[in-house]
Structure 1
Amino acid sequence: MVAHWFKARLVLLCLAASLLVGCGFHLRGSLPLSQYPAIYVQSEAHSELAALLNQRFQQNNVARLADFDANKPALYLIRDTLERRTLSLFANGQVAEYELIYKVEYRIQLAGQEPQLYQFELYRDYQDDPNKALAKAQELELLLSELRQQAANRIIRQLARLG
């Protein structure tokens, strides 16, 4: 009886696993980029977004080319900027809340195709408190890091979609 129950669970488990694999399911953050064995990336010097993308490429076993090759895909990080817009003020006129707008503009050029331009914006609300300046500065850095992570993931998803 126990052996029959065990076999039935094993069959159900194998069936569920094959259905997940068959539908193209992948764990979040582990997009396959096997169609890109190597890629050329051009960005501003010391770009934190480019550093995150390089980490993602290493995780996906994609080599980074030192020079442009027309037969290989190329990613050009044109611009990534952060803007702040005032959302609310304290009674004394100081800013109480900002909206952070992270804008990214990039271009992807695949072998034998015209380059395609992409841009997007990511938004976060940020509450400021001048009495806790150090803590708020650290919170702002954390928000910026999260925005860059989200932007890198979005670019990787776009690359995976094109392939």
Structure 2
Amino acid sequence: MVASTPRGILAASLRGLSAIRMLGNLRNGLAMLLVCFFITGCGFHLKQASYLPEDLRALQLTGDDQKSALFEQLKYELQRSQVKVNEADGLAHSGAAPELHLYKDSLSRQTLSLFSNGQVAQYELAYVVSYRLTRPNQEPYEQSFELYRNYQDDPNNSLAKSKELEIILTEMRKLATKRIIRELSQL
């Protein structure tokens, strides 16, 4: 028997809304489950630290300039990739563990465009990074690469542009360290 009182009508409509919500939650849950199956089925993995070969899980990290921002960034990213990093402290390498030697990085810039008054409007920044991996009983692996970025200069706003240049250089260092680790993971 259907209750014709206002309280009975309200109770019945609330039960109906509750059932509709449960059905909606069930649909959302099934949709999420299907999405998860499709994503894992296609081989997709979330981006994370690169997996290095087992013999590179402990490295002797050396460099021409061990105080440079690139050296510090590389050390940080290696530790983030669960690599035990030992710094050389100026001692000769014993040869027992692999050694990753970071050569001095360099930044050059080339003019791309000029303002009508002859001042530089845009530069191309070229960041050169070189490194050598020495493994016991193997030939040393040397690699060098360049990263490029365009940088627009504004002589009227030099303070902001110098800060922007610092940010660009920091991003280029991060890209360089991630590329080094990615290349090491493919050895």
**TM-score, normalising length from structure 2?**
0.73
Change (3 A) 1:13 1:34: farther
The answer to whether the 8 Å contact 1:102/1:147 transfers is yes
The answer to whether the 8 Å contact 2:122/2:151 transfers is yes
Which of 95, 103, 111 lines up with 1:86 in the alignment?
A: 111
Q: Which amino acid aligns with 1:27?
A: L
Deviation at 1:33, TM superposition (A): 2.6
The answer to whether the 8 Å contact 2:99/2:133 transfers is yes
Q: Does 1:138 align with 2:149?
A: no
Structure holding more strand per residue: 1
Structure with higher Rg: it is: 2
**Greater than 4 Å deviation, 4+ residue runs:** 4-18
The answer to whether the 8 Å contact 1:74/1:108 transfers is yes
Query: Once the two structures are superposed, what CA deviation does each residue of 1:11-62 show, in whole Å capped at 9, x if it has no partner?
Result: 7567546546xx5x54334212361221011111311111111111211221
Q: Per the alignment, in what secondary structure is the counterpart of residue 79 of structure 1? A: coil
The answer to whether the 8 Å contact 1:34/1:60 transfers is no
Change (3 A) 1:94 1:10: closer
Q: Does 1:39 align with 2:64?
A: no
Change (3 A) 1:125 1:6: closer
Distance in structure 2 (CA, Å) of the matches to 1:28 and 1:154 = 14
Taking only aligned residues, the RMSD between alpha carbons, in angstroms, comes to 2.5
Change (3 A) 1:107 1:8: same
- The residue number in structure 1 matching 2:49 is 30
Which of 90, 101, 111 lines up with 2:136 in the alignment?
A: 111
Deviation at 1:83, TM superposition (A): 0.1
The answer to whether the 8 Å contact 2:104/2:129 transfers is yes
Deviation at 1:110, TM superposition (A): 1.9
Change (3 A) 1:103 1:30: same
Change (3 A) 1:8 1:114: same
- The residue number in structure 2 matching 1:77 is 102
Which piece of structure 1 moves more, 47-56 or 69-78? 69-78
Distance in structure 1 (CA, Å) of the matches to 2:29 and 2:113 = 62
**TM-score, normalising length from structure 1?**
0.83
